Amino acid sequence: MASRGEADIVADFPTMHHRVVDQLGRRIVGGGWKPGDTLPVEEALAAEAGVSRGVLREAVKALVAKGMLHVRPRTGTRVLPPKQWNHLDRDVLRWKQAENATALLRDTGELRRVVEPEAARLAAGRATPDEVRALYDHVAAMEAAAAEPGGTGYVEADIAFHQALLDASGNPLLGSLGRAVHVALEHSFLVSTRTPGAVEASLPGHRAVVRAVEARDGAAAAAAVRALIEAADRDIAQSPVRGSASNRPDTRTTRTPR
C-alpha cells in the first residue's frame, strides 16, 4: 500500500530555526541530555549548532513551550523530565517515534482503546446525517484505494475516517485530540498495515462501525471500534516492519495505515 515510503514520520525544515529545534529536541529525547542536565552556555551551543545566538535563543524558547526545557537566570537552561513534556506536540511525537518506535506504538494503542470506543458510542447518539454520510464516503474511499495497485490514497482516507468519527462524537475536545495525535496514529497505521491482508481484513470492520452509528446503536459502535483496535494490535505484533530506529525499512517500500 502506498504512503511516503517508510515508517519514519517525515518532517520539513523551512527555516534554520526549525532545524535547530529539531536537533535539540532529538538530542533531549534521545538521552544526549538527561533530565536535570544544564545545557552548554548559549555561545558554545550556538557555535556547535552553527547558528547565531538569536536563532538558538528562539529554538530554546520553542522547547520551553513544549515543556522540555526550563530557563532560569543565573542557573542556566535545564532539561525537564519527560512527564512534563507536551506529549501531544507533533514534534515530540515525531522524536519519540524516531527514538523508540515500540513505546510509541504501545502508547498509541492504549490511547485508542481508551478514547475511540467511547467516541463511537457518542457518535451513535449525536452524529448528523451529513456526518454519517461522510463516514460512509471515507470507507468507500478506503475500499477504492485498497483495490488500486499500490493502494495510493488509502492513508488519507483511513486517517480521515477516524478523525471524522471523533468529530461525529459531538465533543470538540475529542476532535482536537485526534488532530493533535495525528503523527502517532499515522505511525501506528503505517506499521499495522504492513502485515499481509491487514488492509482488506479491516474494511468490513470500518463499515460495521458506520452501520452501528447510523443505527444509533452505541454499544455496537463501541464494540466495532474496539474490534478494529484489537485487530490493529495483532497486525502490529505481526508486522514485518516496526519502524524502529534500529530496524528501519527500505525507504523504497510503501505502506498505509489502519
pLDDT in tens, 42-96: 999 999 999 999 999 999 999 999 999 999 988 899 999 999 999 999 999 999 9
- What DSSP designation does 11 have? -
Q: How many helices (H) and strands (E) does the chain have?
A: 11, 2
> Do 114 and 228 fall into the same domain?
yes
Instruction: Please report which helix (H) or strand (E) contains residue 177, including its range.
Output: helix 172-180
Same domain for 14 and 119: no
- The pLDDT of residue 98: 92
Contacts of 11 (CB under 8 A, 6+ apart): 22, 91, 94
Same domain? 49 vs 76: yes
Closest to 98 measured CA to CA, from 243, 254, 257: 243
82 shares a domain with 9: yes
Residues 141 and 47 grouped into a single domain = no
The CATH number covering residue 57 comes to: 1.10.10.10
Q: Which long-range contacts (CB under 8 A, 24 or more apart) does 71-78 make?
A: 75/38, 76/38, 76/39, 76/41, 77/38, 77/39, 78/36, 78/37, 78/38, 78/39
Q: Is residue 43 part of a domain?
A: yes
CATH code for the domain of 214: 1.20.120.530
Are 63 and 6 within one domain? yes
pLDDT, residue 195, reads: 87
Report whether 192 contacts 198 (CB < 8 A). yes
pLDDT tens column, 144-203: 989 987 767 787 889 999 999 999 999 999 999 999 999 999 999 888 888 888 889 999
Cell numbers that stand for 67 in this block:
515543556
What would you report as the CA-atom Rg of the chain, rounded to the nearest whole angstrom? 20
pLDDT of 131-148, one tens digit each?
999 999 999 999 998 998
Query: Which residue, 99, 127, 152, sits at the end of a domain?
Result: 99
Is 256 a domain residue? Answer: no
Query: Does residue 146 sit in the same domain as residue 58?
Result: no
Q: pLDDT band for position 255 (50/70/90)?
A: very low
pLDDT beyond 50 at 256: no
In-domain check, residue 89: yes
**Within a domain: 249:** no
- pTM: predicted TM-score of the whole model, two decimal places: 0.84
- Give the span between the Cα atoms of 114 and 102, in whole angstroms: 19
- Within this chain, do residues 56 and 78 fall inside the same structural domain, yes or no? yes
The pLDDT, as a whole number, for residue 250 is 32
The region of weakest confidence among 39-48, 118-127, 247-256 is 247-256
244 in any annotated domain:
no
Count of the separate structural domains present in the chain: 2
- Inform me whether the pLDDT recorded for 21 exceeds 70: yes
Residue 45 lies in a domain: yes
Query: What is the per-residue pLDDT for 246?
Result: 36
What integer pLDDT is reported at residue 203 of this predicted model? 96
Q: Tell me, yes or no, whether 128 and 90 share the same domain.
A: no
- Judge whether 250 lies within some domain: no
> Which one of 44, 71, 99 terminates a domain?
99
In order of 9, 67, 244, 252, the CA distances from 3 in angstroms are: 11, 31, 17, 10
Ordered alpha helix ranges (H), 8-89 = 16-29, 42-49, 53-65
Q: Which range is least confidently modeled, 111-115, 233-237, 245-249?
A: 245-249
Instruction: Give residue 154's pLDDT.
Output: 81
In a domain, 251, yes or no: no
84 and 107 co-located in one domain = no
Q: Which domain holds residue 88?
A: 1-99
Q: Does residue 94 sit in the same domain as residue 197?
A: no
Question: Residue 226 pLDDT more than 50?
Answer: yes
Of the residues 99, 118, 141, the one at which a domain ends:
99
Q: Is 227 in the same domain as 172?
A: yes
